[in-house]
């Protein structure tokens, strides 16, 4: 989607290493979200942010942390990656009473 | 706990063969129900928001309807380019902007 950039788009790493995924938006949206998408589970919310330095946990937050120091950037960190965190990660942004819009995802493989 | 169940998991149609996808939901007060389309390797793309029972919205060959327990996405005379995974999500009342997604229906339209 125009206005949402996720980086990297693909990453392969080893168990136990730290990993940071970045979501950058140019829409000046207040809300930002991180989801993971796995076969048989659909999209599940990891963490979300409702403003700079304001974040909260989602459904599957264990093993993940987030930070938002600027409106446009939302970082997702896996402090010590595990194979169960192999997934496709999507960032979304939105405003109150408007639908969320998604980036094109980061495919993360943890060996 | 808010839940969304989509059926069928997969649907194969011939071009021009109309059908419907189902999204059943339980939510503690519906604020909005959302339909998204997802193409392989891409993020979900917003289609519709429905807010109250009886509401209908249309876009090209797609029409979404809403009752108090479920939503239908009707596809009229589909074309191969309608092939995608269709996702349904609900947002509950209470101030949170969070979405709860179903697992999706993978639609294939054969020429």
Mutation for testing the B interface, residue in A5, A43, A54, A58 having most B CBs under 10 Å: A43
* Average pLDDT score over residue span A12-37: 96
Contact B101 A42 (CB under 8 A): yes
pLDDT tens string, chain B, 111 residues long: the values are 889 999 999 999 999 999 999 999 999 899 999 999 999 999 999 999 999 999 999 999 999 999 999 999 999 999 999 999 999 999 998 866 889 999 999 999 999
**Arithmetic mean of pLDDT, A54-61:** 94
Q: Could you tell me which residues come within 8 angstroms of residue A96 by beta carbon, excluding any fewer than 6 positions away? A: A30, A31, B97
- Among A42, A58, A104, the residue with its CB nearest the CB of B43 is A104
Supply angle C-alpha B94, A54, A1, rounded to 5. 80
Q: What is the mean pLDDT of residues A10-30?
A: 96
> What are the CA-CA distances from residue A14 to residues A82, B31, B85 (Å)?
8, 41, 31
């Amino acid at each position: 989607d125009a206005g949402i950039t996720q980086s990297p788009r693909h990453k392969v790493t080893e168990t136990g290493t730290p990993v940071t995924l970045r979501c950058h938006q140019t829409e000046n949206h207040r809300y930002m979200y991180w989801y993971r998408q796995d076969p048989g589970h659909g999209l599940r919310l990891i963490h979300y942010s409702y403003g700079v330095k304001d974040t909260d946990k989602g459904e599957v937050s264990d093993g993940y942390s987030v930070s938002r120091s600027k409106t446009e950037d939302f970082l997702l960190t896996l402090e010590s990656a595990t194979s169960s965190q192999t997934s496709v990660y999507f960032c979304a942004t939105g405003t109150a009473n408007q639908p969320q819009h998604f980036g094109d995802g980061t495919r993360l493989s943890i060996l | 706990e808010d839940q969304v169940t989509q059926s069928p998991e997969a649907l194969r149609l011939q071009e021009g063969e109309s059908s419907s996808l189902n999204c059943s939901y339980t939510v503690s007060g519906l604020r909005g129900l959302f339909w998204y389309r997802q193409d392989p390797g891409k993020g979900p793309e917003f289609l519709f928001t429905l807010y109250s029972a009886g509401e209908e919205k249309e876009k090209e060959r797609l029409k979404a309807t809403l009752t108090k327990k479920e939503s239908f996405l009707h596809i009229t005379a589909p074309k191969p380019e309608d092939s995608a995974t269709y996702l349904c999500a609900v947002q509950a009342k209470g101030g949170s902007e969070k979405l709860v997604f179903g697992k999706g229906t993978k639609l294939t339209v054969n020429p």
